[in-house]
Structure formats: C-alpha cells, structure tokens
Amino acid sequence: MEPASLAFRERAAAALEDPVLRTALRRLESGWQQGRSRAAAALPEFEALRDAAVAIKDHTLAHLDLYLEIFERRFTEAGGVVHWARDAAEARAIALEICRKAGAKTVTKSKSMVAEEIGLNAFLEANGLTVVETDLGEYIVQLAGEVPSHLVGPAVHMTRERIAELFARHHGGAPKNDSAELVAEARRILRERYLEAEVGITGANFLVAETGSIVTVTNEGNAELTQGLPRVHLVLTGIEKVVPTVEDAFTLLRLLARSATGQEFAGYTTFLTGPARPDERDGPREMHLILLDNGRSAMVGGPFREMLRCIRCGACMNHCPVYLAAGGHAYGWVYVGPMGSVLTPQFAGLERTWTLPHASTFCGRCQEVCPVRIPLPKLMRLWREEAHRRHLPPPTARYGLAAWAFLARRPALYRLVTRLAIAGLGLLGRRRGRFSRLPLAAGWTASRDLPAPAGVTFHALWKARQRNRA
C-alpha cells in the first residue's frame, strides 16, 4: 500500500463534509471512550498496571536481542519454524514461499496490521492466491475494496445500511436491516472458507519468550478457526511484540481490552505453543512465524524507541479530536490517529508522510489514555522538527515560523507588533464584531467567523488588572 499521507489536508476536508462518517465516528465517543473510562474506574490497580506495563516493555526493549533469541529457541523446540524478515519485500517473499510449499490456493487471514503494513493481501493475490479476511470488520472493508480505518474496528466508518448493500451485492439476495442477520450471513460465508483454506495467517498480540507461545486476542473467535483448521499456520508480527514471561503477557492483557473497548477481557484470548503434536487431532501440522523488522530495530536505538511500547489498543485514536473529525482513511496509510502519526513516517518515510505529525492539536489526550504511557505529542513534535530541518513543509509555513521565532526572541518588539496588530484588527472589526474572511486565518474563517479582538492585548489587560488590584 503506497502512502497517500501528503494529501491529509484534502482527505480530511472531504471527510468533514461526509455526514455518514460523522455519524459513524460519534459511536466511538459514546461507546469506546466511555467504556474505557468505566473499565479504568472499576479497577483500583489500573494506574499501577500501566506503570508495570511500561516497565515490562522498557525492560524488554533494552534486552530485545536476548528475548528474541530465547523466544526463537523455545518456539523451535515446540515444533515451529522462525523466519526473520528485514523488510516488507522479504516478509512477502517468505510468506509466498510458505503458501506455495503448502500447495495453497485459498488462504484465510485473521486481523494483522503487520500484514497491512507490508501489503501482503495484494501481493498474494497477484501471485494467484485467494485471500479471505475472517475478522468481520476486515471482511467488510475487503468487500468494499478499502483499507481498515481503525486498529480495533476496521469498518467503524461504515453504517449498517452500507454494509447491508455490500453483502447483498457480493452474497446475493435482498439487503438485510438487522445486525444479527448480517453477522449470521457473514458467518455462513466464512465457515465455507475456513474449510477450504490450506494456510491460515494470523498476527500476534504478544510473543512469550519463556514458553515460545503466540498470543492472539479477538472477540469473534476467527483467529482460533484461522490458526486451527488449515494444515499450515503462518504468524506474521513485528519483533517488538515479544515479552519475557507469561505473567508479563497477562499484565498487558489486563490493559489491552480495557483500553481498547472497555471490556475486562476480550472474548477469545489464545496462547498457542507450536503446531499440533502427533497424538493431537486438532491444530495445524506446520507452524511458521515471520518476525519483521522493517525499521523497528532502528527505533530501538533512536529517539522514537518509546513508540515500540505500543500494544495496538487504539485508545489514542478513540480519544483524538483530529481522528474523530477526519476518520482513519484521511491518514492515507495503515496506521492512523496519533500512533500512526508517529509510526507512519518511520515505516513509510518522512518525505511522503510529513503532514501526519502536524495532524494534532497537542491536547495530550492520546498520552493521557495510552495504557503504556507513550509520549505521543513529544514524538510527533520530534517529527515536526525533523520535517522542518529537511525543508519539507511549504516555504510559507517555514517562513511564518521563522518570523514568529524572530519576534518571540525579542519581547519588546513582540509586544509592539502584537499591540499594533490587535489595535488594527479591533478597529477594522469594530462595526460587525467579527471577520468572515481574514488573511493568514483562512483555515478558521473557511467554516466559521473570527471574533474581532477588543483592540487591546492580553498583556495590557493583565497589567491594568494588576494596577486595579494594587
């Protein structure tokens, strides 16, 4: 998937004009935001768990090579095969080779953001395989020819009416208006696909070094069918997902669902340790794991290391006013919201994505609700500084910042200029009390009037107040 992030402003403007998207995104505020608040309030040790999670992730990242080696040894001892992939192209090639050796024609796939990151579906389909998403949200956006707009709810931007139309067009029959009927219809179609598939592909929420286990978390049980029914199970995940022990994994699991949807625990949490044993009737005969780097090891030793703590809960986007206004597709790549504004420049290149770190009000809500306390505003600010250093923003933006910096470093001149500007605006806007159009403020006046200032600066008002008090 090629990033379209440079068009964020245009895509966001189009999203703001979409009433259907507005309705869909409001569900996040009334649903998952409130759910997270209730779940956190109901667990007295929630903040202590967050501190423990930060310690676990920081410790693991400090010794990442050690724990990856331990995990590989344990996973291999359990009968699995580990494949190391330096970049997206290498990961795709390994996945295709595994599918071809299995003689696969149909591949079922559970939700995997890493698979989206490397463009796996399109690559496998271009090489003659049929790939079927089994997560309901992923299945819906696959039918629509779209990409996920949210980590947890890939189709959160869609209404029930649009989903009904999609199902009718692809499955036949009249559109159904009842949600339960739509779910039943998808279940009926996907059950046939589960039985046809020769390879099942899943992601992994965590990798446990202590036991060599893969941990998957879903609310639908589709990961269990994807990894349990086909003869070959392929896991695709990033190197940062490893944790030292089972106890550590459960600490993070106690935060994951609460932060994502407000549940105490997801419907299905599975620890899978190797393929089926010779005396076991169920489970895959082969189990492969592709561990993807794709820029992650560079983050370990750099200023964006804290981003590798992310457990992909989606809490940051559920609370981000920019995401809730623009939706996920405006970000133009796989990772969206505040976490995407940090990760996308790292994985897709700052030159093609420099607009994303600017898609933030820096209100700090993302950092406030992040279960592993990632300082997302700070990391976005680092990308802004780097973009400015490379002269990526347009000259008007750079020169405007340079002019402001020049004034800000000279307090007397700053006060003089602002006093003149405020007095002038107050005089010009005195009759109407507002401006419908104003140079350098088009982003505001395009959708609302700008109140005319009183003609006096804040500094002057403050001094007058202090004099009156004296």
Q: Report pLDDT digits (tens) over 107-158.
A: 999 999 999 999 999 999 999 999 999 999 999 999 999 999 999 999 999 9
371, burial (CB in 10 Å: exposed 0-12, middle 13-18, buried 19+)? buried
What does the DSSP assignment read for 196-260? H-SEEEE--SEEETTTTEEEEEESSSHHHHHHHSSSEEEEEEEGGGEES-HHHHHHHHHHHHHHH
Q: What is the helix (H) or strand (E) element at residue 161, kind and residue range?
A: helix 160-171
Is-above-0.75 flag for pTM? yes
Residue 320 has a pLDDT of 95
* Residue 294 confidence (pLDDT): 96
CATH class of 43-298: alpha beta
Q: What is the β-pairing status of strands 450-451 and 232-238?
A: unpaired
| Higher local confidence (pLDDT), 446 or 78 | 78
Which pLDDT band, with edges at 50, 70 and 90, does 23 fall under? confident
Average pLDDT of the segment spanning 85-100: 98
pLDDT tens-digit map of 372-429: 999 999 999 999 999 999 999 999 888 888 888 999 999 999 989 988 988 888 888 8
Q: Where in the chain are the domains?
A: 43-298, 314-393, 397-469
Q: In what order do the strands lie in the sheet with 232-238?
A: 81-85, 286-292, 232-238, 199-202, 106-109, 130-133
Among residues 431, 427, 419, the alpha carbon closest in space to that of 456 is found at 419
pLDDT of 443 over the 90 cut? no
Q: How far apart are CA 128 and CA 107, in angstroms?
A: 11
Please count the other Cβ atoms lying within 10 Å of the Cβ belonging to residue 251: 18
Distance of CA 78 to the CA centre of its chain: 32
The secondary structure element, H or E, covering residue 132 is strand 130-133
pLDDT, tens only, 25-68: 887 877 899 999 999 999 999 999 999 999 999 999 999 999 99
**Residue 336's closest CA among 110, 154, 201, 205?**
154
Mean pLDDT of the chain: 93
Question: How does strand 81-85 pair with strand 286-292?
Answer: parallel
User: What does the pLDDT look like over 204-257, one tens digit per residue?
Assistant: 999 999 999 999 999 999 999 999 999 999 999 999 999 999 999 999 999 999
| 315: Cβ contacts below 8 Å, ≥ 6 apart | 36, 259, 260, 366, 369, 370, 371
- What does the pLDDT look like over 178-203, one tens digit per residue? 999 999 999 999 999 999 999 999 99
Report the 10 Å Cβ neighbour count for 424.
12
Reading the block at residue 377, the tokens are: 């505003």
Average pLDDT rounded to a whole number, residues 298-319: 96
**Cα 356 from Cα 81, distance rounded (Å):** 37
CA 320: distance to chain centroid?
A: 12
Distance CA 10, CA 357 (A): 16
